[in-house]
Amino acid sequence: MKLPYWLHTILWPALCIFSGLLILPFSYNLSYLMFAAIGILGLYVVFTARGRFPVALLVSLLAATCLFAASALVFRMFEGGFDDGPFYVYSAAPLPDELGCSETVDLEEHSFCIQNPSLNGRSPLPEHAGDPRLSLRSADGPSAWSVRFNTSSKMPGTTITDIRSAEFHEGWLRNRLEFVGCWSYGCEAGVLYLTKWNTPIRYYLSW
């Protein structure tokens, strides 16, 4: 059944906003790309069906863009408030086993291993040697993944050297790991957001 044009001007902007907000908790950039991709697809579908450019749909999409941008800003303020961030973690090899875990957080079938190489008084790796590591380990030992914390990519000239007092909290949409992070501006409360599969998304540090 062919939809009337006025319904297209409501449907496609609504799909853009819904898909963008659905992905927003997990990736800012991907949510914007999804919004744009569905908007362009809507313009193409309606243009192909009507044989002329759908100006009304374009206006609706521009209005939806403003609404989505405002919603993303409100979400960012709700998620991080006035904390520093968002910061991101980067894939890294686990530090040597002899360094051990500075701290562990036990889950049902896995555990988080926190390693703070800067506390060992030496640099085990030539690059980003002082970056704290976080690994998700299974009961038999191997790491499912390992990442390093870094703040200099977001705030040049800063470093994070120590993560401690970590607590895991499970949520209905995302999980989170609350911790105390010591960086260039002192030791502050931090939170790392995780997917329901406990893979890192982004983190914030209070100030």
Q: Indicate the residue among 21, 56, 78 that finishes a domain.
A: 78
Give the CA distances from residue 191 to residues 99, 141, 177, 188, in Å, rounded to whole numbers and listed in that order.
24, 25, 6, 10
Closest to 18 in 3D by CA, of 50, 85, 64: 64
Span 154-165, average pLDDT: 90
In this structure, are 145 and 189 located in the same domain? Answer: yes
136 exposure class (CB count in 10 Å sphere: 0-12, 13-18, 19+): buried
Q: Whole domain around residue 195: which residue ranges?
A: 85-205
Question: What is the Cα–Cα distance from 126 to 147, expressed in whole angstroms?
Answer: 16
Tokens at residue 101, please? Answer: 């875990």
158 exposure class (CB count in 10 Å sphere: 0-12, 13-18, 19+): middle
In this structure, are 66 and 17 located in the same domain? Answer: yes
Counting every residue, how long is the chain?
Answer: 207
In this structure, are 121 and 28 located in the same domain? Answer: no
Span 103-122, average pLDDT: 79
Q: Report whether 49 contacts 42 (CB < 8 A).
A: no
Q: pLDDT band for position 2 (50/70/90)?
A: confident
In this structure, are 43 and 92 located in the same domain? Answer: no
In this structure, are 104 and 23 located in the same domain? Answer: no
Q: Report whether 86 contacts 73 (CB < 8 A).
A: no
Q: Indicate the residue among 50, 78, 106 that finishes a domain.
A: 78
Of residues 128 and 162, more confidence is placed in 162
Q: Indicate the residue among 41, 63, 78 that finishes a domain.
A: 78
For the chain, the domain total comes to 2
What pLDDT shows up at residue 34?
Answer: 95
Half-sphere exposure of 114 (CA within 13 A, CB side): 24
Q: Report whether 87 contacts 202 (CB < 8 A).
A: yes
Sequence-ordered strand ranges (E) for 93-132: 103-106, 110-115
Tell if the pTM clears 0.85, that is, is over it. no
In this structure, are 90 and 127 located in the same domain? Answer: yes
In this structure, are 129 and 195 located in the same domain? Answer: yes
> CA triplet 195, 200, 206: central angle to 5 degrees?
110
What pLDDT shows up at residue 206?
Answer: 85
